[in-house]
Each structure stands twice: as structure tokens, then as C-alpha cells.
Structure 1
Amino acid sequence: MNEGRKEIIQIVFVLLGLIFLIKLFSIQVIDGRYKDLARSNAIRTEIQYPVRGLILDRNGKLIVYNQPEYDLLVILREIENFDSARFCQVFDITQAELNVRFKDLYTLIRNKRANEQQPTPFIRQLSHYDLAKIQDNINEFRGFFIQARTTRAYASAAGANALGYVSEISDNQLKKYKDNTVYRAGDYIGQSGIEAYYEEYLRGRRGVKYLMRNKDGVIKGPYDEGRADTVSIPGQNLTSTVDVALQEYGEFLMKGKAGSIIAIEPASGEILSMISGPSYDPNLLSGKNYSENYVLIKNDTNKPLFNRPLMAMYRPGSIFKIAQAMVALQEGVISPETRIRCDRSIINCHGAHTNEDLRGAITNSCNPYFRDVLRRMLMQGKSNNPFDDTRIGLEEWDKHIMSFGFGKRLGIDLPNEKGGMVPSPKYYDRAYGGRPWKFSNIYSIAIGEGENLVVPLQMANFAATIANKGYYITPHLVKSIGTNGQPLPQYLQKHYTTIDSAYFRIARDAMENVVKEGTGKWRASLQDIVVCGKTGTVQNPPLPDHSVFIAFAPKENPKIAIAVYVEYAGQGGRAAASIASLMIEKYLLGGTKRPNIEEYVLKGKFE
């Protein structure tokens, strides 16, 4: 009997011992929580934030750089004898603000985005001035310490929509990055513009430093002699294609106006300037006032965050007549000598002209001429049914027009680009609900009205394509990545249109005449430079028309192609032509010799 009890007791003790051993093994080997807890008490982890890459203009001038800022971090578990009144005095905040910060901190912990043993941001983006005020008092608050990092700063107030801005990563963005070595809560990320598109090159790679501390939390030195530390890797610098002086001048001219200016170097596709009006000072979206400034800018009824060169879709107006001419020549339905009477009983026109050839029709922007050109293009007698004939012709027309880059995204190195629209037979099928349609229903597209939609970037690219006699390189804003680098491979390729290069000589001659003796002669002509251009006046009922102008210069070996779109400014030969010619003058000659035209633009009374 006693022997049996003895055996039972022995078995119980053995089982208890096994249970303790298994639990100890689980704690020490399998479950890392306790190890991490002990480690966190003895080791403090400090993130080493990388320096974000700089952005320079095409001439090496610094546009975007970094300036130091400081975050106040807290380890909740280490807070002792916290004097909230003294803290508010030192950090110049109210008790209510302090309470909100602690409440937000505990919310992060409940959501498992922070824990009590590791440093968590408490006050962000302290400046040099802020640091100078508090650095002698920080030791009064056990558990709090300063973490250095950088924020963006801008050498110029120009180019905000192209450059974009950087801000704290959102929860939705964090979900896209499962690997925490890339981003963590509180990190900064490019949110728009170049900053967003080239984020992976600009951001660099974070490092980490492990510091030993004693039981009182005092740092004693590096952990394991720094063997576990990793060094941060700075982001790569970008050399942009932008000429910052030209950019600033364009924004100066567009002050108080809505619209856009895009200037491109035709041979390379490099964007020399990209102005969206109205815009904002990029410095407003940097530093600790980011949140309140962002709300003000976002709620501005003028929409300064709306990047018009890429996102605003307009009817192209009469600049589209050049594309119509190229397509008709390629299809052989007209020749350069083809004359068509300006019959204003069919469609309204302007100016004094009667029976022009192709060059004259472009020079005078004759609406009846190009209506008839489209009729010949769409109704070539390929079918006995006029509805089917129009459909066949429109499909061929679409193919040619889209080869210029219309009706699709060009692929610029910026987010949020729109593609515009080139109407197709399927579009009209939907629009007419399956009912028949033909040329007489859609002829307004002949003069850039109707269902045509383009974005200003496509207009500038069209001007560059004519300058290049039939090809374009995708417009882009970054000339090189890193030291002695290149643009991304897709920005080195030529894209050819479906139009024979010989026909572009006719377009160039006609555009030269537009500026010499046509609708652009009063304000687009320059004494020492041959400018080739085309005006456009886009209907916008019941509001005033939009003013449009595309151009390139000089005619031989062009250095700049440009598109200007000024909303509600009337005729293209006024506001848009004036601004375009001033930009050409600024870029090629360094400044304007026509102060009267500059004054005319700045006054904004385009009569």
C-alpha cells in the first residue's frame, strides 16, 4: 500500500518537473516575448533614418534639399515621476494637448502599432529653434528622448505640382508594404509628383543602432561593440529636366490665371517647365505645419493641388486642324494644293479669306476647309452605306490620330496622368444608344470641338512631334538618376507616327505663316527667332472661351516646343500666344525684349 503511494508521489513530482522544464523551454527557446522584454529593458533601439535624395534642375541648381528636424520619442514603460505641468511649460503645449497626445499613443498600442517597451513618436517635427529651447531640460523627463531626422525644403517656390510633396505614410499605404524593413508607421513617403514616382530611388534605406543602458535607463554605450548595427544608405540624387529659371518665369506669367504651360525639348522629350495655375508654395507642405496647410490648400476653391498639365481634359480647338491635315495628306484625300471654299453657310468661320490651299487654311484657321477635309477622310466610298462608310473612315482616322499620342496616357514619370479621348465608332454607338450615326452627326471633331478631349501635356508633345518631323520621345521630368546616371529606359525611345515625315514640312511651313501673317502674328512673332505656332480658341459655353497656343522654335533645329492653355481668356492669339512667345524668348535669349507684351500678360485683360 505504502509502496503504491510512494510511486504515485514520485510520478507526480516527475510530471511536475517535466511541466516546468517544458514551460521553461517554451519561454526561453520557443516564445520570444520574454526574451524581447528582457532585451528591451537593457537595449534601446534607435532608427537611423536615411537622407532623402536631392533634386536638382537641368543646370545643376539645387531645387529640393533636406533640413534637420527632430522627433520627441517616448518609451511608456520607463516614465517615472512625470510632471505634466513642467512638461507643458518646457514644450509649450497645453494640458489638453498633452492629454490628446497620450490618448493617441494608447490608441496606437491598442491597435498594435506601438508597444510600451519601444520608442514611439510623441511630438513630431521639432525645429532647431524648438530643440534649443528644450535640450537642457529633456533629462527631467525619464522615458523621453530626441530622435534626429530630416524634412524636405525647397530652394524655389516654383514647381510644386511637378515636384510633389512628402508626408507621413498612411495606414492604407502601410498595408501595401508587408516587409517592415521598407516602411514603418511614422515614416515619410512621396505622396505626389516626382517625389512619389521616384520614391524607391529617393528614399534610401534605414539603418539601426543598438545601445546598452543600465537599470536606470542611462545609455552606457553600443551593444556588442556595434556589431549588430546597420548603417543607413542615403537616397539617390535626381537631376531633373526642368530649367528652374524658366519655371519661375512661367509661374510669374500665370499668376492670377487658371491653366497650364508645358515646354519640352523636342529632341530629347525633356520637360523644360511644367506650370499648373494656380499653384502653391511647396514649403507650405513641409515641416510641422503640414497638416493645417494641407487642409487649407486642399479646400482652396481654385484647386492648386489639381495638376492641370496632366489631369485637366479640354477640347483642343483649332490646333487639332494640323493633325487633321496630316491624316488627310497621308490618306491621299487632299494635297498641299487642294483648295476648298470658305462656305460659312455650312459652319461659321473668322477672318478675311475665301478659297485657300492647305497652308492658307492652316494660316487662317479655316473651319469650312477642315470640315470638308474630315468629310473626305471619313466618306471615301468604301461602302455603299453612308453609315458604314463613316465608321470605316473613322476607324482609320483613329489609328492615325492616336499615333500622335492623343487618346491615351503618354507615360510621363508622374502619377495621375489622364489620357484624354479620341472618339471611336464604339463611343458613338454608345452615345447614340445603338441608333445610326454618320459624318453629319460628328463633324465638329474636324475643328477640335465636339467629343475630342486632350490634356495639355499631349498638346506640347504634339508640338514636339511636328518639330521632330514625325516622332516624339515620351515627355519626362528626370534627366538622370544618381551620379552620372541616365533617365529610365522608356524615356530614351522614339515613337513614330503613322504619317510620312515629308508631310510635316508642310505643317511646319504653315505654322511659320500662322505667326508671320496669320492668327498669331500680333503677339507670337519674335524679331530674331522663327517661331512656328498655331492658335486655338476653344468654345466653353456659357462661360468665356479658352485660349490655346502651341509652338516650337526655332524652325530649324528646334530647341523648345510649348503648349499654353489659359482658361476663360478668349482668343488663342491673345493670352496663350503672348505667354508662349515670352517663354520661348526667355529660354532662347535669357529674357524678353518686349516689355509691352509682358505687361499685357500680367494685367490679364486679354482684349
Structure 2
Amino acid sequence: MRKFVLIALVLLGGVLFTARLFYLQIYDASSDSLSQNSAIKVMYDYPQRGYMFDRNMKLLVSNQPSYDVMVIPRDVKPLDTLEFCGLLKITKEEFKEILHKARVYSPRLPSVVIPQLNKADYASLSEKMYKYEGFYIQRRSLREYQVDHSANVMGYIAEVNNAIIEKNPYYQMGELIGTAGVEKEYEEVLRGVKGVKYIQKDRFNRDIGPYKEGIFDTLPERGHDVQLTIDAVLQKYGEELMIHKRGGIVAIEPESGEILALITAPSYDPSLLVGRDRSKNFTKLWYDTISKPLYDRVLMGEYPPGSPFKTLTALIGLHENVVDTLDTFACYHGYRYGNRTLGCHSHPSPLAMVGGIANSCNAYFCNVYKRIIDKYPNPREGIDHWREGLLSFGLGDFLGYDLPSGKRGNIPTSNYYNKIHDYPAHNWSSLATISNAIGQGEVLLTPMQMANFTAAIANRGYYYTPHIIKNIIGPDTIPQKFKEKHYTTVEPEHFKPVVEGMFQVYKRGTASSIQIPGIDICGKTGTAENFTKIDGKRVQLTDHSIFVAFAPKDNPKIAIAVFVENGYWGSRWAGRIAGLMIEKYLKGEITRTDMEKYVLEGSLEAEYAKPYSGQPFSINR
């Protein structure tokens, strides 16, 4: 009996010993527990970030080697601080502050002391680092831009802050993360996976080799390359056309929703936000509160859409069956209601729908809008039905595109008008909202939304969610939502007269002077009123120039929206730019060199300076 008890005790002890060994070597050997082990030093090996290519596989951004001076605070030994600071080109006070922050973050994990050494500094430092225990040089990669455009599309990377580290434990102090544009939206795709090495230390804190012969070490995994939807040639050309102007251009392929060009102006060279001068350059761009080069106007700018919105008024009027294509309305230099007049320019009168669009008649669309709202028992119901139709074009909300910034725009609700008119104490009618008919009033859209509703018209009633990613190379997959059609509430047959009206804008209407030979373009000019505050007073500035278009008329390949702040007539700046962009994309060359010269050499800087001059100024000249 005693023999069996002894055997059982030995077996039990063996099982317990094996279990404990398993726990220590397997379960307890997680990266978290190892990183907290005082006898183990953690070293990270950073992967190459994925490259970006345009739709034609032209390389946009790659990587370049970079070297950071790192510190593991607990490994630091007494050193000649003045000598070391001289090598690092920092003051003793700066060094103390850096070391203090590193200790607060973690005494065991590495922190950055000096980021992004240039090759000369790396060469001089690397041979002397052996003198400074606890400090070492870490190789990683920074972005190397192959183009000087598309900064707003690609975005940039920057050092993680405490908020990011607390939210996502993958990141450590001093590491880099995508902070804007594609870099931010596709961070987990582009960044790859960093490798880790665990170094065993002896009781004298000396390295004695890989922990457990490196069985827990991992190799870095390179980030995935991505192919974007933009056409680099078209993007660069658009940015050149927008020099000395403010605003934006969005071009979309209607049959897919792929974004061909996404231009905000003014912009900047993406290389400015790489290297040791990054902080200085970023500060300069950030504090330029007048031209705002970091402000993405095509996604964040909310503007009155002006006359391009009339196409939607026509479509909803047809859908609501309050107007047909042959109904005519007279125009006596504008639309008169009560003792007020919403003015209009000279053109033939009366006009039906195609002529109303071609000549951009305010009176025509005010009449259609009034019929839409007055169809219902009260204007509140009318506004809500009008709004429902507009929402189906992707207006009044985020479109769901794959870029991290954006605004909803504004399609006003009946509740909004109830509030401002103090309903039910005071009633209101369709005439109180009549400016909505022509894309003024409370209606606000982003240039992205303008391009998207133009794509929906080009498709005769549907659109794809605009997107910037064409392919993730490797997984070869993009979200399913970018392949789904979104149908508007307007029936397909109602688009024919609106498309014809937009075609006539070029043939005999407000854009007839800027036709492009050999291309059937359907477009709509727009001019939107522009106000600002100067010394607390509301002051009118020169109107905005707007143009939307698609081409060719049948089987369209490009839909575009151009918005030029303070550009006045739609055909003066925005229309010309749209035509040139369309020709560049469809033909690969420019035949209207006179128009190109006008745009490339033209400047609106004098217009933008007017509010800051302190002098009286005129507008709309």
C-alpha cells in the first residue's frame, strides 16, 4: 500500500511540475508578460509600410530609411551628459525632459529620444553609441513621395500620442501612425505587423542573448500595397489649374464610383511633412488660417450649390408629378413674390424644362419648387417629401466614402422652419423657403456631394458609393459596399429631359462659349452668393463659381464638380476648369489651349485679399 501511495505522490508531483512549466513557458510567455519581466529586454523590428499606386499602377509613395535614437530608461548608466547632448544637438534641459517622459511612459520599454536622423548624423553617432548604455539607434522607414501632388488624398503619418496608445495597445511611444487621408483610413492595411525580439539579461543587467533561444521572437510583416482609384496625371493637372485659386475639384467614374481626382486648393507638397523639418512645416501649414492648406475643401467645405441644384428641383418636380416637360413659365427678370423679386439674367421667355435648365432660369425653378411644396396639405409635409427625394441622391448625410474626414451638408427639415418661424404661433408657406429652389437658402452641399449627384444623373438614377481604394494588393479585396448600387427615388424616365437640358447648357446655354470640340458634355453652371463677417457685420463678397458636368452624354466615363471660391460666374472659372479636366481625361490632350492659358495664368488672390485690406471694395466684376 505504501508503495502505491509513494508512486502516486511522485506522479502527482510530476504532473504539477509539468503544468507549472507549461504555464511559465507557454501561457505566461505572452508579449505582455515578457515585456514586464525585468530580466528581459524588448526590441521591436519595424516593417516596411505598404506602397501606394494610382489606378494605372504609377508609384505615388514608397519608403526611405530613417534612424531614431532610442532609450530604455532602466538600462541607462551614468554618462557624460554634455558630451552626449552635443552629439544629439539638443540642450541638457531638453535631454532631461525627454528622459523624464520616457521613464513615466515605461522604464522597461523603448522610447524615442531623437527621431529621424539624417544620414550624416547617423554615420557620426552610430560609431559612438557603445559609450552610452541604454541608448541605441533604431532603424525604421519614413515615407518617400514620388509625386508633389495628392497630399490631401494620401495623407501623412505622425507620431502616436498618449490618447492613441491608451486606445490601441499595439502602439508604443515614438511609433508612427497614419493621421490623415488614405494613410489614416487604411492604417491597419498599410502598417504591417512589427517584429519583436526578447533579449535575456543577467543579474548585472547585461545582455546574454535571445530569451529561450528566440522561440518567442517574431519577424516583421510588411504592410500591403494599395492601388488607389485616382488618375495621377489628372490629379496633377487639376492641382495646376487651381493654383492661385481656392476651392476644389471632384471627378468620379459614374459606372463604378471610383474617385478619379480629389483636389483641394490651396494644397501643399506632401514631402513637407517628412523628416526633421516636419514639425516646423506642419505648424506653418496649420496656422495659415487664411488660405487653410490643410483644410480639405472638397470633403469639409459646405457651400450653397447654386444653379446645379436646379437639376434636382426639376427631377423631384417630375417625380412628384407637379410639372411635365412641356409646362412653361414666364420670367420677368426674376421670380416675383409679394413685394420681393428673386432676380434672373436676360434670356428668352417663357421657357419649358429643357430651356429652363439651359438658360438657368430662376423663375422657372421657383415655380416648380412652389408646386412641389404646395402639393401637400401644408408646407411642412411638402418640405419633408422634397427632402426625402434629395436624401436619395446622397445629400444631407455622409456618403460612406473611405476617407476619414467629411461633412453632412444640409438639407433643411420642416422642424427647422417651424423653429425659425415660431410655428404654430406663426405660420409659414412655401414662399418662405423659395431660395431652396435654386440651391441657395439653407441648402448646403460639399463638392463631393455635388459630384456624386451628378454621377447619379449621368447613370439616370443611381450611384455607387464614391471610394478611393481600387485594390488592396495581396488580399485583393475591397468592401462590398463599394460595389452596390444606390437608387434614387426618381424614376429613370424622368432623367431624359434633365440630361437634355444639361446638354443644351453647352450647345446654346450658359456654357456655350466653353465647349470642347469632339466631346458631348452635359453640364450646369452655377453662381452662389457669398457672405462673410467683417468687424461683426455681414458683408457680401464676390460670388462663388460652380460647375457640374458629365461626359460623354451617352455611356459617361467621368462626372465632375468644380467649386472656385469668389470666382463669380460659373462659366468664368469652374466651367473652364471642368471642361479642361474632362478633355484631359477622355482625350489625354488639350485642344482648347486658349482656355487652358486663361486658367493657368489666372489668379484670384486679389479677390481673397479684399476682406483683409481694410479698404472699401467692389464685388462681382
Q: TM-score scaled to structure 1, two decimals?
A: 0.88
Matched, 1:440 2:431: yes
SS of residue in 2 equivalent to 1:121 = strand
Which residue of 2 is the match for residue 539 of structure 1?
529
SS of residue in 2 equivalent to 1:232 = coil
Q: Deviations over 1:122-168 (max 9, x none)?
A: 21111333212222222232332111111122111211112111111
8 Å CA contact 1:378–1:394 kept in 2: the answer is yes
- Quick one: distance in 1 between partners of 2:315 and 2:116? 56
1:547-586 map, 5 Å: 547-586=545-584
Matched, 1:104 2:98: yes
Question: Paired residue for 1:69, among 66, 70, 82?
Answer: 66
Counterparts in 2 of 1:605 and 1:191: CA distance versus 1, 3 Å: closer
8 Å CA contact 1:266–1:472 kept in 2: the answer is yes
Which residue of 1 is the match for residue 284 of structure 2?
296
* Displacement after TM superposition at 1:512 (Å): 0.8
- Quick one: distance in 2 between partners of 1:405 and 1:426? 20
* Displacement after TM superposition at 1:552 (Å): 0.5
Question: Paired residue for 2:519, among 524, 529, 532?
Answer: 529
Which residue of 1 is the match for residue 146 of structure 2?
155
Which residue of 1 is the match for residue 614 of structure 2?
none
Which residue of 1 is the match for residue 356 of structure 2?
361
Which residue of 2 is the match for residue 604 of structure 1?
602
Question: Paired residue for 1:124, among 107, 115, 126?
Answer: 115
Which residue of 1 is the match for residue 414 of structure 2?
425
Q: Deviations over 1:42-66 (max 9, x none)?
A: x432101122221111011111222
Which residue of 1 is the match for residue 15 of structure 2?
none
Counterpart residue identity of residue 540, structure 1 = N
* Displacement after TM superposition at 1:81 (Å): 5.1
Counterparts in 2 of 1:205 and 1:605: CA distance versus 1, 3 Å: closer
- Quick one: distance in 2 between partners of 1:498 and 1:37? 58
8 Å CA contact 1:68–1:127 kept in 2: the answer is no
8 Å CA contact 1:90–1:137 kept in 2: the answer is no
Which residue of 1 is the match for residue 333 of structure 2?
344
* Displacement after TM superposition at 1:510 (Å): 0.9
Counterparts in 2 of 1:39 and 1:339: CA distance versus 1, 3 Å: closer
Question: Paired residue for 1:475, among 462, 466, 473?
Answer: 466
Which residue of 2 is the match for residue 84 of structure 1?
81
Matched, 1:190 2:184: no
Which residue of 1 is the match for residue 396 of structure 2?
407
Question: Paired residue for 1:334, among 319, 323, 327?
Answer: 323
- Quick one: distance in 2 between partners of 1:221 and 1:396? 73
Question: Paired residue for 2:369, among 367, 370, 374?
Answer: 374
SS of residue in 1 equivalent to 2:66 = strand
- Quick one: distance in 1 between partners of 2:433 and 2:387? 13
Question: Paired residue for 1:45, among 42, 47, 50?
Answer: 42
Q: Quick check: 592-601 or 73-82, which moved more?
A: 73-82
1:235-384 map, 5 Å: 235-301=223-289, 302-344=291-333, 346=336, 347-380=342-375, 382-383=376-377
Counterpart residue identity of residue 587, structure 1 = Y
Counterparts in 2 of 1:37 and 1:354: CA distance versus 1, 3 Å: closer
SS of residue in 2 equivalent to 1:588 = helix
Q: TM-score scaled to structure 2, two decimals?
A: 0.86
8 Å CA contact 1:242–1:271 kept in 2: the answer is yes
Question: Paired residue for 1:114, among 101, 106, 111?
Answer: 106
SS of residue in 1 equivalent to 2:355 = helix
SS of residue in 1 equivalent to 2:153 = helix
Counterparts in 2 of 1:171 and 1:355: CA distance versus 1, 3 Å: same
Counterpart residue identity of residue 348, structure 1 = G
Which residue of 2 is the match for residue 514 of structure 1?
505
Q: Quick check: 526-535 or 69-78, which moved more?
A: 69-78
* Displacement after TM superposition at 1:220 (Å): 5.5
* Displacement after TM superposition at 1:286 (Å): 1.8
Counterpart residue identity of residue 295, structure 1 = T
Aligned length: 560
Counterparts in 2 of 1:38 and 1:361: CA distance versus 1, 3 Å: closer
8 Å CA contact 2:265–2:297 kept in 1: the answer is yes
SS of residue in 2 equivalent to 1:522 = helix
Question: Paired residue for 2:442, among 422, 427, 451?
Answer: 451
- Quick one: distance in 1 between partners of 2:191 and 2:475? 19
Q: Deviations over 1:82-107 (max 9, x none)?
A: 2234324433x14xx24312223213
8 Å CA contact 1:70–1:124 kept in 2: the answer is yes
Counterparts in 2 of 1:65 and 1:216: CA distance versus 1, 3 Å: farther
SS of residue in 1 equivalent to 2:409 = coil
Counterparts in 2 of 1:133 and 1:428: CA distance versus 1, 3 Å: same
Which residue of 2 is the match for residue 8 of structure 1?
none
Q: Deviations over 1:509-548 (max 9, x none)?
A: 111110111101112x110111110000001141000000
Counterparts in 2 of 1:517 and 1:136: CA distance versus 1, 3 Å: same
8 Å CA contact 2:548–2:560 kept in 1: the answer is yes
* Displacement after TM superposition at 1:224 (Å): 2.9
- Quick one: distance in 2 between partners of 1:241 and 1:579? 21
SS of residue in 1 equivalent to 2:574 = helix
* Displacement after TM superposition at 1:605 (Å): 5.5
Q: Percent identity?
A: 41
8 Å CA contact 1:240–1:478 kept in 2: the answer is yes
- Quick one: distance in 1 between partners of 2:102 and 2:347? 73
* Displacement after TM superposition at 1:467 (Å): 0.8
8 Å CA contact 2:389–2:490 kept in 1: the answer is yes
SS of residue in 1 equivalent to 2:530 = coil
Counterpart residue identity of residue 207, structure 1 = G
SS of residue in 1 equivalent to 2:596 = helix
* Displacement after TM superposition at 1:174 (Å): 2.0
Q: Deviations over 1:351-376 (max 9, x none)?
A: 32111111000000001111111111
Counterparts in 2 of 1:139 and 1:598: CA distance versus 1, 3 Å: same
Counterpart residue identity of residue 293, structure 1 = N
SS of residue in 1 equivalent to 2:223 = coil
8 Å CA contact 1:398–1:422 kept in 2: the answer is yes
- Quick one: distance in 2 between partners of 1:269 and 1:455? 16
Matched, 1:392 2:381: yes
- Quick one: distance in 2 between partners of 1:483 and 1:518? 49
SS of residue in 2 equivalent to 1:340 = coil
Counterparts in 2 of 1:38 and 1:372: CA distance versus 1, 3 Å: closer
* Displacement after TM superposition at 1:332 (Å): 1.2
8 Å CA contact 2:148–2:269 kept in 1: the answer is yes
Indicate the structure (1 or 2) with the bigger Cα radius of gyration: 1
- Quick one: distance in 2 between partners of 1:515 and 1:289? 48
Which residue of 2 is the match for residue 14 of structure 1?
none
- Quick one: distance in 2 between partners of 1:132 and 1:334? 77
* Displacement after TM superposition at 1:38 (Å): 11
8 Å CA contact 1:351–1:364 kept in 2: the answer is no
Counterpart residue identity of residue 343, structure 2 = N
Structure 1 stretches of 5 or more lacking a match? 1-27
1:20-39 map, 5 Å: none
Q: Quick check: 509-518 or 120-129, which moved more?
A: 120-129
Q: Quick check: 433-442 or 562-571, which moved more?
A: 433-442
SS of residue in 2 equivalent to 1:334 = coil
* Displacement after TM superposition at 1:262 (Å): 0.3
Which residue of 1 is the match for residue 136 of structure 2?
145
